Each structure stands twice: as structure tokens, then as C-alpha cells.
Amino acid sequence: MKNKIFILLLLCLFLCGCGNYRELNQIAIITGVGIDKKDDEYEVSLLIANAQKSETTSKEGESQPTVYSGKGKSLVEATKEVDRKTPKQLYFGHINVVLISEEIAEEGFLNVADWLLRNPESRKKFYLMMTKDSTAKEVLEIVSPLESFPSQNIATLMGSNEETQAITNSVTYSDFINNILVEGIEPILPSITVIGDDKDGDDKANLDTTNPNSYLKLETIALFKNDKFKGFASENDSKAINILKNTVKQSIFTINYDDSNVNLSTKNISSKIKIKSAKEFDIKVTGDATLSEINSDTNLNKEQTIKNIEKELNKTIKKQINKAIKKMQTKYKSDIFGFGNLIYKNHPDAWKKIKDKWNDVYFPKIKVNIQTDVELVSTGSLENTIRKEDK
């Protein structure tokens, strides 16, 4: 009996395996996807990572990503056209980023969301971005001297700028869909564009120059209402939006003090939004700031000077936040901050009565009280300004 059990277990070990197993050299690994509209059809562009030829040397075979595109009345048709152009089977399990053009976003993201969701291979944690003044295909084709693959260049660009700039923040596919489905909050997306001639950007010679002919640049936040794109925020509005969404790690603010521009670096900025009623909300912003640059003979040893600079900084931050909220209320009528979600959580009965007209009727009328308390904690390595030291 024991011998039979042993033989049975041995057979199981030989027979078990991955049902969908495929050799690496038989698949085309997709790391980036671009979705455009062209001639009333969808154009899907797929960035293939493992496109080097087997006969090349290691050095010659490095960094040979290729973009294949296909068109069709549906995304499935467009992808099938790409499939007919590639000698390997398409594999969607390693997507880093999906780019959608303005035309796609204006028609509504849900038109393409289903295709991305139903693909069983793709993880839903990839970055989702909008292109600005460029097609998604053009962005995918730009090669960078600093990264092997364009998709990795985009992901790295997003990560580094999220750490040091406040005008953008990363959004995954799951995050975006969640904000479409959740009550009382509208979604946003980061955006990206091509600087220079996009035709030169896909040339490998772009890697060998100290001054690339074209490169990618992160742009401001793309604003949505439901699943449809409504416009791009300004840099200051993007900064304010990210402060209220608590996605700011570091930022720079410029104020005017003593007839001179003063630059301050902020960190640890956080905001709290509290609901007072369905018509009124309180916002408190806190954080630290460091003096980065000042070009005047201002005496920084005076406590009152520090207080005055600090006061001007808080006034600037408050003004930018207030302006961004007002613009969302009046121009876009899109509650990207989630005031409605707070009503939904705290006053569900009231929310049921107003939710259908929240963005267009009730959100534009809410009162928002803003308090900022950002403290100037350091004037840098100098006790005073260079101009002051020289005197």
C-alpha cells in the first residue's frame, strides 16, 4: 500500500506544472501601452522590452525596445493587429505604465478601462498617465540616455519628481478606478509631454549626445469629472491640489519680501479637512520650511524678520489653496478634493438627497475655511544673507 502511495505522489510531481507556461524567448514582454485615437479608430501602441536580436553581443543587444502599433474599431481589434506584426506572443504581465491621449480621456476613460481590466495577465498596479500636446505613441517612442527602456524612464521620472516637486503625483490604474467609483470624489491624473522633435526622440543617436534633441517632461495635473477629462491645472493649482491630497513630500514656494524674491523649501506638509456641515468645511495645513535663497540685505538675525517671512509664506500657501478650490468650484465643477465623500461618510442621509447634483449645484456653494501653519525652521547654513555679511 505504501509503495502505491509513493508511486502516485511521484507521478503527481512529474505531471504537475504551469498550464500557461511559455519559454521566455517565445514571448514579447510589454512594459508600456499607449492608447490614441486616429481616423476615428483606436490606435494601440505596445512597447516591447525584449526586442534585441539573439545574434547580437551583450553590449549591442542592450536597450533595444521597440514600439509596435495597430489600429481598429475596438481596442481588441487594434491589439490583434499588433499581434499579427510580432513574431512572438504578447505578454502583458510586466506593464509599467499606460498612457492615454487627450482625445481618449475626453471621450471617457471607462471606454478603455474594461479592456485593461479583463486582461488576466496584467497587474492593475501600473502607472496611469495622460499625454499633453503629444500622442501616447510619441511619448512611448522617446528614448533616454539615463534609462534602458522608455517605460522605465517614465516610471523613474514620475518617482523622482514626486519626491522633489509638488506639481505631480503618481496614480495607479486601481487608484484611478477607485476614485471614479467612490462616492463624492473625482479622479485626477499626472500628465507628460514631449519637448523637442518627437521624430528625433526615437532615434538611438538621441542616446549618444550630451544635448538630446527631444526628451520627456512631466506636466501638471489632468482634471476629470466622472471619467471624462476636463482640463489641465496650472502649476500653482497642481501644487495646492497635492497639498490637500497629502501627496507632497517637498516643494518650493517663492514669496516677495523686502523688495526681493525669497525662495523657501517646504517639507512635512500635511493637511486635514474636517466637515462642519454639508455646507462648510475646515482645512488646516501644517509643515516646515527652510530658507533656500534670498537676494537682499535682509537681517535674518532678527526674530521679527523670520516671523514676517513665515507670515508671507503662509499667506502665499493659503492664497494658492483657496484659488485652486475656487477654480474647481466654478470653472470645472469637479470635487477632486473629496468634500462630498466626507458628507457621504458623516451624513449619509443628507448625501442621498444631494449626490446627483453635488458637482454642479452644491459643491460650488460650499464654504471652506483655510488655516495654514507652516513654520520657518531654518535659514540654511548662513546666519545671515551674503549681502548682509559683506557689509
Q: Residues 180, 92: one domain?
A: yes
Considering only residues 49 and 339, tell me which one the structure prediction assigns the higher pLDDT. Answer: 339
pLDDT digits (tens, 9 = 90+) for 73-122: 999 999 999 999 888 888 888 888 999 999 999 999 998 988 888 776 67
DSSP letter assigned to residue 362: I
Q: Is 265 exposed, middle or buried (0-12, 13-18, 19+ CB in 10 A)?
A: middle
- Take residue 356 and report the three cell numbers written for it: 446627483
- CA nearest 245: which of 182, 166, 323? 166
Domain of 103 in residue numbering reads as: 24-232
Mean pLDDT (the chain, rounded): 83
Cell numbers 534670498: residue: 294
pLDDT digits (tens, 9 = 90+) for 219-247: 999 999 999 999 999 999 999 999 999 98
Give the separation between CA 111 and CA 20, rounded to whole angstroms: 29
Residue 6 lies in a domain: no
Average pLDDT of span 132-159: 77
Checking if the pLDDT of 368 tops 80, the result is yes
Residue 260 near residue 387 (C-beta atoms within 8 A): no
- CA nearest 281: which of 321, 231, 221, 327? 321
Q: pLDDT value at position 144? A: 65
Q: Residues 80, 202: one domain?
A: yes
Q: Residues 254, 212: one domain?
A: no
Q: pLDDT value at position 93? A: 86
Q: Residues 43, 164: one domain?
A: yes
List, in sequence order, every beta strand (DSSP E) within the chain.
27-38, 41-48, 66-72, 89-91, 97-100, 127-131, 188-196, 214-225, 228-232, 250-257, 260-277, 280-294, 367-378
Q: pLDDT value at position 4? A: 46
- CA nearest 375: which of 273, 318, 307, 299? 307
Q: Residues 195, 247: one domain?
A: no
Neighbours of 16 (CB within 10 A): 8
Checking if the pLDDT of 6 tops 70, the result is no
Q: Which of 199-208, 209-218, 241-250, 377-386 has the lowest mean pLDDT?
A: 199-208
Q: pLDDT value at position 150? A: 66
The counts of H helices and E strands in the chain are 14, 13
Checking if the pLDDT of 145 tops 60, the result is no
Phi, psi of 205 (to 5 degrees): -65, -20
**Which CATH number characterizes residue 372's domain?**
3.30.300.210
Residue 15 lies in a domain: no
Residue 14 lies in a domain: no
Q: How many domains does the chain have?
A: 2
Residue 211 lies in a domain: yes
Q: Residues 255, 225: one domain?
A: no
CB proximity list for 64: less than 8 A, separation 6 or greater: 51, 52, 53
Last residue of a domain, one of 232, 260, 283: 232
Give the separation between CA 45 and CA 198, rounded to whole angstroms: 15
Q: pLDDT value at position 381? A: 47
Residue 136 CA, distance from chain mean position: 15
Give the separation between CA 135 and CA 157, rounded to whole angstroms: 18
Residue 12 lies in a domain: no
Q: Residues 141, 283: one domain?
A: no
Residue 18 lies in a domain: no
Residue 10 lies in a domain: no
Q: Residues 228, 244: one domain?
A: no
Q: Residues 346, 382: one domain?
A: yes
Q: pLDDT value at position 56? A: 42
CB proximity list for 213: less than 8 A, separation 6 or greater: 196, 197, 200, 201, 203, 206
Last residue of a domain, one of 171, 201, 232: 232
**pTM for this entry:** 0.83
Q: In what order do the strands lie in the sheet with 260-277?
A: 250-257, 260-277, 280-294, 367-378
Last residue of a domain, one of 167, 201, 232: 232
Q: Residues 242, 370: one domain?
A: yes
Q: Residues 227, 241: one domain?
A: no
Cell numbers 543587444: residue: 61
Q: Residues 253, 211: one domain?
A: no
The pLDDT > 90 percentage for the chain reads 54
Residue 8 lies in a domain: no
pLDDT digits (tens, 9 = 90+) for 21-35: 456 567 888 989 999
